[in-house]
Amino acid sequence: MGNWPRDLTFLRVKLLFIGDVVGRPGRRAVQLLIPQLRIQHGLDYVIANGENSAGGAGISPSTAREIFEAGVDVITTGDHLWDQRDVVELLKNEPRFLRPLNYPPDTLGRGWTLHEKKGLPPIGVINAQGRTFMAALENPFTMTLDAVAELRRSTPIIFLDFHAEATSEKIAMGRMLDGKVSAVVGTHTHVQTADEQIFPGGTAFLCDAGFTGPHDSVLGRDFEPVIERFLTYEPRRFPVAKERVLLQGVIIEVDDATGRALEIERVSEPMPPQIA
């Protein structure tokens, strides 16, 4: 499957997926830690969820540019897609930028892509959003199956960022796609789960990759105003926190001929204190 010039000694593709990048601290972590992780783990591809990269709410062309320049190949998003008005520029013009594929058909942008790098087999990347406790978009299960069928014409290596709230919905998606894609990894909750595994059909799975940003916080925001909101229910601003910055995500190794996952390893890499 696929028509890339395959070096017979090259049997594995290693990719890093980075959980939700939050604000400037998250972008800084991506910029400073990706080069180190690329060397340490021999990474071929890097994918990142960037939907909270602009001040902790949404993504803009400038924050996307920082993430791409740091070495990220494809950016995925989720329910905060529309928080920055100039995201329209990315949706119109940037093929490496994805929104959830289960928006209505005439929505700007794309929900999946085939990404290619010289000397490597191409990978398919899909972005979908869940519906349990979230906005009632189109059915992500049926639409993801259609995208997988299209991508498998070109590559067996397919990664899905499933941006969803409910663990049951994420697990169901992973089980449905077992043997059809290389990996299903969840985002959205900002809490890294410890259930990494490879399903019997060869699909790597993790309920949530966590988030990249300040962890002395409530999901990346200063915790004092969040606590005040819970105590009083009065409106509060939730600034992005600053301390204990981690890059969280997952590294997955894939057989390039079959697309089956061979290894999965969670990542929670701290920023050196002097530059965090």
Q: Which residues are catalytic?
A: 80
Q: Is 276 in contact with 47 (CB distance < 8 Å)?
A: no
Q: At how many degrees (to 10) do helices 61-69 and 23-41 cross?
A: 20
Other residues' Cβ atoms within 10 Å of the Cβ of residue 214: 26
Total residues belonging to the chain? 276
Note the Cα 215 to chain centre separation in Å.
18
Q: Is 90 in contact with 59 (CB distance < 8 Å)?
A: yes
Q: Write the secondary structure of the chain as one string of H (helix), E (strand) and C (coil).
A: CCCCCCCCCCCEEEEEEECEEEHHHHHHHHHHHHHHHHHHHCCCEEEEECCECCCCCCCCHHHHHHHHHCCCCEEECCCCHHHCCCHHHHHHHCCCECCCCCCCCCCCCCCEEEECCCCCCCEEEEEEECCCCCCCCCCHHHHHHHHHHHHCCCCCCEEEEEECCCHHHHHHHHHHHECCECEEEEECCCCCCCCCEECCCCCEEECCCCEEEECCCECCECHHHHHHHHHHCCCCCCCECCCCEEEEEEEEEEECCCCCEEEEEEEEEECCCCCC
